[in-house]
Every structure is written in structure tokens, then in C-alpha cells.
Amino acid sequence: MKHGKLNNERIAVIDLGGQYAHLIASKIRRLGAFSEIVSTDELQPEKILSSFRGIILSGGPSSVYEPLAPSTPRKLLDIGLPVLGICYGHQLIMHQLGGDVKNAHGKEYGPAEIQISDFSGLFAGEEQWDNAVVWMNHGDEVKTLPDGFKITGSTQDCAFASVADTSRRIYGVQFHPEVADTVRGDCYLGNFIKICGLENSWSLEDFLKAKTEEIQKETINRKVFLLISGGVDSTVAYALLSRSLPRDHLKGLLIDTGFMRKNEINEVKKALAAVEVDLDVHDASPDFYEKLGNVFDPEEKRRIIGDQFLKSQETASEKLFETPGDWMIGQGTIYPDTIESGGTKHSHKIKTHHNRVPKIQELIQAGRIIEPVRDLYKDEVRRLGELLGLPDSLVHRHPFPGPGLAVRCLCSDGSENSSMPIGDFINKIENKKNEASDICDQLIRHSLEGLVLPLQSVGVQGDQRSFARPAALLPLKERPSWETLEKISRAIPNYFSDFNRVLIRTGAKNPGGYYRRVPNRYLTPDRIDTLREADSIVTDFLREKNIYSEIWQFPVVIVPVVCGKNQAAPTKTPDSDAETAGPCESIILRPVNSRDAMTASVYRMNFSLIDDLTNRLLKIETIDSIFYDLTSKPPGTIEWE
């Protein structure tokens, strides 16, 4: 009843394993109809019929022919409710009704244009928008249709991109209408909502009202202690809690991990004071640095940060409260955080969010955690912040992850590693000779040298977490156009799953064509200081050039790689205080546009601005090279770790 609806005015989103199920549900709500996630265990067709007005089958990484692939009762398609299958959901419907689904020999990620052949149903009113961009992310695809179905839209590589049996009101799309990169996705889903008869039946104002009452019930006789990171999510969570709780029942604490941005703490304090919110600050940075001393594995870093967060919070709260047991812990967790940590039943783990480490999970089980914005996506959190009267400057800040600069500082252990020419790497891969020669041709045609960098970063490929290599493009002449760069950066991970990112080098102190990973680079205050400086140069630059608000998020990442065989090796290790000798790090710029953090596209910065920014960053003494990340999400994630 949290949506405030007693009847069946809602749409069931059946979670078939994609990280997209919650996104679909949230999108449907944003478009004005309430939706709920339903797991495949809870699927009794009669109950669905009495509780919902429509059904959406989500995407997922499975193939319909896998023995353990998630499935739904065939009868669900006969109860008379409108049904929309998305990606895997579409394939499942086709398979169950007698169509053919086959492996498409290679995966298709990224944008495609849809040619619409029937302007009714999902495409009603879309006449002016034929050939709009849709977002693809699949391996299998439909090859023949069941009786009663016809094609309603096709893309160049996918004939059955959209199909329908209008008499039964069953629709299927191979692309993802719920992600922001499907340009007309909201309209297609809006049409489905109309087909269900639910237009304008729910709003975020309803959510706010229902959530305020829910928090009051949940916190009865208890106080809430909220960790404020300085980001949008925890601040909005705090404001929402402050609506439901008396002032002396709510306490905000900012734990300074040592991974905050330059001047961030003061700015947060000031912004909160303006909305009459008190904030305590506890400096825990020495504890964090000590625990992370010689750790380089990203998952291990996240686990340690999550655990240390809790320890520091306990230490600080012991000082603040005499009876910590009466207090609940508030967190500003939002939907993508829970989904990508494997929050829905079938979703694969992409990475562990610091709000979802095992100790926090224990507290969740014990009913001691309260997460008022956990059902919302970033843009909903921002809109809620506006509804709550928070200032624009705070609500519209770029998102910043809880573990802060720590997940933007890649580490290395003691092993040596170096780059190799991309041709040498891909030409060795069996059964991919044509793809390898296509990539090599494109690189030659555009005067680009290609390297496999000696690094790994987190990505998401075909709905699963990947930990793969970046390919770096080194321009030998003038930089090719954005269109060309994006085309190449799509092709490389599409053809070769060994890569989840493609970068272009925008400048280097020593512009050679060979990179090596600098060993023994850990999370140390000096490296974070360098990153903090680079991050601040970038933020100031964006404000100066008036482009801050054109960009959704702009991670600046420091990586321990340098160009050239003879570059002086740094001697600083966790056990030694010796000075570093010369440049020993590179910077990766990762500006993206996104709406919901589930997908993202690259921000196309003007080339002259890129050069200006690169020159400013190269002035930092220890920085060797600057790269610009050209990867969309998927296959890369927004953060590098």
C-alpha cells in the first residue's frame, strides 16, 4: 500500500534477471502509472489478473534455451491483460507462443535506428519520429514469429525489433525502451500505459505523501542517525526524514573518509545550514588510509571502505548518543545502488555498493537501517529534492559516489605489466579474423595507433559485470571526428569482450607509443591529493566554460600507467617515504550524460576545450598522460571501479 493505491491500478514488472527490471518500474511510475516488481516465484496468473492492469516482462542475460533460464507461466499470456516483453522478455513470449529464437552470432550493444511499419499500439502518434534511436543490448534474437503476430518495427541488424499481436494486446521489443538512450522510449511506454488504461494515475507527490507516513510508522519511538556523504542522495534522504521526524529525533553526521573533494566539507555544511540542517563532522581519514594501505583489488577496496564506514560511524555515534540501540541508521541508498549489487532476485552482481556490504546487510535484516529514497532513481531523487524545497545548487550537483575518490584511484600490486599493440592482441583471437581486420583498417584509415593498456576496470557487458582491459587510441595526426571516435569505441567491445572500454589519448608529456603499469601504487594520501587537485581543476574548468550543467557526471580517474620504457620509476611504496621521481600517473577523463545512471553516453566535449583542459592537467608534476574515456554504459560503467 506504499503507493497509496487500494485497487489494481498498477503494472506488474516481472524481473527476468536484467538490471533493468527496477528501471522499467521506476520509468512507468515517472510516466504516471504505479508499478511494482514481481519475482518469478510469485506468479500466479489469477492473482496477477486481480492485482494488476498490465504486465511487463523485463530483459535479462539468459537465453530461452538455457535449462535454468527464468521463465513465466505460459498461461500469463492468456488472462487478457496487456503484455509487453522487453529484450529477453520479448524472446520468452515469442518462444512460448511458438516463434523461433536463435543466437545472433555476436552481441549487439548500443544505438540503432528503428524503422516503424505500424503506427498503432506502442507506436501510436509516432509518425514524425520514424527512424528514432533505440538502445540494443542482446545476444539472441527472434527469427520467426508465432501466429497472430506481425513486425511493427525493424532496425538494420534486427528485423524483429518490435512485434505485436494487437488483438491479444501482446507486444514485444528487442530494444530497451526504458533507458534514456532510446530517444522515444517514454512515448512507447506511455502508449503501453494507455493500452492498460492507466494514464495519469500516479505521481511523485503521491510517493512523497505515502513515504512520509511510512517513515513515521517505521521510526515510531526511535531516532534516526543519518550518514551524510555530501552528495545529492543522502541530503535528499535527510530532508525527507526531517519531514517525518521531530528535530531532536534526527541527527546528521558526515564522516570524512579522506576521499572527499577539495573544499567539499565546507560547501556541504554551508548548503545544509541554509536549509536549517545541523551537521557533525568526524575525521576518520587516518583509519581509512591505514586499512587500505596495500590493497589494490577494487572489490576488496569497496568492502574495506564499507566496513570502515560502519566502524567510524559506531565510534562517532558512541560519542554522540548514550543509547545507540534506540537509533536507526539512515542511508541515502538509491535504486541503482541496490540493483547493481545484485539487489533483485535474478540480477547479477556488477559491483558491491558500499551501502550493501555484509555488515550493512546484517543491520538491514535486524530492521536497523532506514533508506527513504531506495525506491527512486537519481532524477527522481533530484525532483523530490526540489519538491522538498532544497536549493538548486545542491540538488543539481553532479552525483558523487559514497566511497568518493577512492573508487577513482586505481591501484597496482608489485607485478610489472606493459601495453601491447591492439593488432597483436586481436589478431590472435580465434574466429574473429574479420572483426580484427575491420578494426585494424579503421585505425589505419583514421591515423590512430591502438594499444591495449596494462589496466583493468569494471564494466557491464550483456547484463553481467566484467573486469576487462581498456583499449587506448593514440592519434598520429589530427583527431578524427566524434562520430568516428564513437563508432570505433562501439566496435571494439562489441567485437571483443576482452575490452570494456576505449579511450583516446588527448595529451602526454612523453608522447611515445608504449605504456607500462607502475608497480606498488596504492591508496595513499599523496595520490589522493594529486587526484583531488586534478578533479578540482576539472570542476573549475567546467564552471569557467559554462558547461557544468551540460554534463551529468564527470569522474576524473587516476591510473598508475606511464608512457615510455625509460621513464623514471617511482620509489614510493606504502613502506617507504622516498620521493617519487618524475611523472608516475595518468589521468582519465570520464564525462558522461545519463538520466538514471543505468545507462550513460559519452559527453562530446568540444576539441579545443579538451586541449585546454589537457594542458592544464599536464601541469601537475606527477601526471604523465591524459586520456578521454569514449565508452558508453554498457559496456563500461560510469565509475572505473
Per CB under 6 A, residues contacting ligand XMP are 336-337, 340, 353-354, 399, 401-403, 553, 597, 633, 637-639
**Is there a catalytic annotation at residue 299?**
no
**Is there a catalytic annotation at residue 178?**
yes
Phi/psi at 148 (nearest 5 deg)?
90, -15
Sign of CA dihedral 431, 433, 439, 443: positive
* Tally of CB atoms within 10 A around 261: 17
Q: Which is nearer to ligand XMP, 193 or 588 (CB)?
A: 588
Q: Which is nearer to ligand XMP, 356 or 505 (CB)?
A: 356
**Closest approach of Cβ 624 to ligand XMP, in Å?**
25
Residues 391, 395: Cα–Cα separation, whole Å: 6
Please give the radius of gyration of the chain, using alpha carbons only, rounded to the nearest integer. 25
Residues 536, 556: Cα–Cα separation, whole Å: 9
What dihedral angle (degrees, nearest 10) is formed by the CA atoms of 519, 522, 524, 527? 60
Residues 553, 141: Cα–Cα separation, whole Å: 33
**Closest approach of Cβ 173 to ligand XMP, in Å?**
24
DSSP 383-436: HHHHHTT--HHHHTSPP--TTGGGGGB--B-S--EE-EEHHHHHTTSTT-HHHH
Catalytic residue among 126, 141, 178, 639: 178
DSSP 519-574: SSB-S-HHHHHHHHHHHHHHHHHHHHTT-GGG-SB--EEEE-EEESTTPPPP---T
**Closest approach of Cβ 254 to ligand XMP, in Å?**
14
Residue (of 353, 324, 322) closest to 340 by Cα position: 353
Helix ranges (H only) for 183-244 are 185-195, 204-218, 232-244
**Closest approach of Cβ 593 to ligand XMP, in Å?**
12
Q: Which amino acid is at 583?
A: P
CA distances from 131 to 111, 167, 176, 486 (A): 11, 26, 15, 19
**Closest approach of Cβ 332 to ligand XMP, in Å?**
7
Catalytic residue among 22, 90, 95, 176: 176
**Is there a catalytic annotation at residue 87?**
yes
Q: Which is nearer to ligand XMP, 165 or 596 (CB)?
A: 596
Residues 114, 119: Cα–Cα separation, whole Å: 12
φ/ψ region of 429 (left if φ > 0, alpha if ψ in -120 to 50, else beta) reads beta
Q: Which is nearer to ligand XMP, 503 or 638 (CB)?
A: 638
**Closest approach of Cβ 354 to ligand XMP, in Å?**
4
Catalytic residue among 87, 187, 563, 584: 87
Q: Which is nearer to ligand XMP, 3 or 303 (CB)?
A: 303
Q: Which is nearer to ligand XMP, 303 or 509 (CB)?
A: 303
Residues 264, 261: Cα–Cα separation, whole Å: 5
Residues 99, 81: Cα–Cα separation, whole Å: 21
Q: Which is nearer to ligand XMP, 164 or 405 (CB)?
A: 405
**Closest approach of Cβ 640 to ligand XMP, in Å?**
8
Residues 26, 30: Cα–Cα separation, whole Å: 6
* Tally of CB atoms within 10 A around 401: 21
* Tally of CB atoms within 10 A around 430: 5
Residues 122, 101: Cα–Cα separation, whole Å: 22
**Closest approach of Cβ 110 to ligand XMP, in Å?**
16
Q: Which is nearer to ligand XMP, 11 or 638 (CB)?
A: 638
Q: Which is nearer to ligand XMP, 92 or 600 (CB)?
A: 600
**Closest approach of Cβ 337 to ligand XMP, in Å?**
6
DSSP, res 218? H
What is the β-pairing status of strands 223-227 and 54-57? unpaired
Q: Which is nearer to ligand XMP, 121 or 401 (CB)?
A: 401
Exposure on the CB side of residue 581, measured as CA atoms within 13 A: 7
**Closest approach of Cβ 336 to ligand XMP, in Å?**
5
Residue (of 474, 476, 544, 508) closest to 618 by Cα position: 508
Show which residues are catalytic.
Answer: 87, 176, 178
